[in-house]
Amino acid sequence: MPSQKRSKKSSLKFLLLALLVGSSVVACGTPSQRYASYKPDGVFLALPKTWHEISTEKLAQQEAQSTAVGAAERAAAVKWQVAYSPSSQITAADVFSIKNSEQPIVFLRIRSLSNVERNLVSFNSLRDVIVPLSSWIDGSSTIPRFTLLADDEVTEKGGSGVHSRFVFGPAEATAQTLDQTVVLSNDRRTLYVLVMRCTETCFEQNHEVLDKIAASFTVHGK
């Protein structure tokens, strides 16, 4: 009987030690993701922890340099924006450019809509937030290289919109893949835009990570 008691005590000590070691591993582990969120509108996005951030401030500074018609008004309507990339070489200028990127660029933007914009907004205008996608789809305008990979309606608690993924580019240049989710708030006052892009090859190589980012995009609303 004494030997059985010692055996039970030894087993109990081993079990407790195992539990403590297991707890330590969990406690010391580092999160594999980082999170971008805009709490006033319940917007959430999860990304790899190692990705580099291009801050709201840097994006605003870059956008302020634009001389395009209506650029100042569009910038003034921005409530919040942020961008990310696995490469620290990606700049705010790269985020706002439509030129090919060999590294993934993820851009999240929240902006208010004017009264005129609220009255004119449609699924097609949501599709056209970056490029004239709706006209490429219906054939009213063309581009040398264009392949539509996805075009689906999106319903969130805080609004609804369209998710599109497509490949496009000039005839002789490297094509790029662009994935965009554009959500209009339920009160039609706010636009939530998530854009992910890089060269076609780059996107294929990183599609698992980019798919997870897109799937994490959430708009709960106010």
The reported pTM is 0.85
Q: pLDDT at residue 88 above 70?
A: yes
For the stretch 99-153, pLDDT in tens is 999 999 999 999 999 999 999 999 999 999 999 999 999 999 999 999 999 999 9
Average pLDDT over residues 73-88: 95
What are the boundaries of each domain within the chain?
1-30, 31-219
Q: What is the pLDDT of residue 30?
A: 53
Average pLDDT over residues 162-189: 95
Q: pLDDT at residue 162 above 90?
A: yes
Supply the DSSP string of the chain, one letter for each residue: -HHHHHHHHHHHHHHHHHHHHHHHHHHHPPPSEEEEEEGGGTEEEEEETTPEEE-HHHHHHHHTT--STTHHHHHHTEEEEEEEES-TT--HHHHH--S--SS-EEEEEEEE--HHHHHH--HHHHHTTSS-HHHHHHTSS--SEEEEEEEEEEEETTEEEEEEEEEEE-SSSPPEEEEEEEEEETTS-EEEEEEEEEEHHHHHHTHHHHHHHHHH-EE---
CATH of 31-219, one of 3.40.640.10, 3.40.50.970, 3.20.20.30, 3.40.1000.10: 3.40.1000.10
Q: pLDDT at residue 170 above 70?
A: yes
